[in-house]
Chains A and B, each alone.
Chain A
Amino acid sequence: DGGITQSPKYLFRKEGQNVTLSCEQNLNHDAMYWYRQDPGQGLRLIYYSQIVNDFQKGDIAEGYSVSREKKESFPLTVTSAQKNPTAFYLCASRRVSTDTQYFGPGTRLTVL
């Protein structure tokens, strides 16, 4: 899992609530990514950021929001507009000029 931390490990949310998932990296990587993984499935890209104060939507951005105010941090907010948020969320980072992404340990979000 390298120098990427995600918190909390498990998160429970009531319907209608917004929740924020934390992702911090100490690898000095410029690019950061958020993915969603459903049971038995691959990863789908939610948002990504290649530099501070800039980010782009991925394939499934609806119902999610992000910010990138610091290089080390890329928090993901799951809003009440996300219809089916129960999933495993993975954060990753990448150093510019390389192609490999390094992943955090993940946050499992369950909507009650």
Chain B
Amino acid sequence: SQQGEEDPQALSIQEGENATMNCSYKTSINNLQWYRQNSGRGLVHLILIRSNEREKHSGRLRVTLDTSKKSSSLLITASRAADTASYFCATDEDRDSSYKLIFGSGTRLLVRP
């Protein structure tokens, strides 16, 4: 099952602009994580936000979480060509202690030099 759905599916911006990606999910969660995947590679963890947090920052990344709307957003500021990748949200459901992650279908970001 896929819980998280990202929006937009694809995003093309100019270097230096900000990129915003959104994620919606269906059930209650313990936390929501964002991962990055370069083409043909494994995923790299970017940031984790817990269900009792509303905003978190890490370098040029800003993540917000709205549990009432079951949605999250990832903002990348001052984007660089090296930020070109696919970005996935993943939720750790609140149902049990299995620590399974459910991934969305991803946003493909292209940053044009």
Residues of B within 8 A of A (CB): 1-2, 4, 30-31, 33, 35, 40-45, 48, 88, 90, 92, 98-106, 108
Residues of chain A with a CB closer than 8 A to B35's CB: 103
Contacting A103 at CB < 8 Å: which of B42, B92, B102? B42
Chain A contact residues, CB within 8 Å of chain B: 1, 4, 31, 33, 35, 40-45, 48, 50, 56, 58-59, 88, 90, 92, 94, 99-106, 108
Distance of A44 Cα from B1 Cα, bound (Å): 8
Q: Which DSSP category, helix, strand, loop or mixed, fits chain B's interface?
A: strand
Tell me, in angstroms, the Cα distance from A100 to B49 when the chains sit together. Answer: 11
Residue of B40, B44, B104 near A106 (CB, 8 A) is B40
Other than the known A1-B41, A50-B98, A103-B43, what 20 A-B pairs have Cβ atoms closer than 8 Å? Answer: A31-B99, A42-B88, A42-B103, A42-B106, A43-B43, A44-B103, A45-B101, A48-B98, A56-B98, A58-B100, A59-B1, A88-B40, A90-B43, A99-B30, A99-B33, A99-B48, A100-B45, A101-B45, A103-B42, A104-B42
B75 smallest CB distance to A (angstroms): 20
In the assembly, what is the distance between CA of A4 and CA of B44, in Å? 12
Per the bound structure, the CA–CA distance linking A33 and B43 in Å amounts to: 13
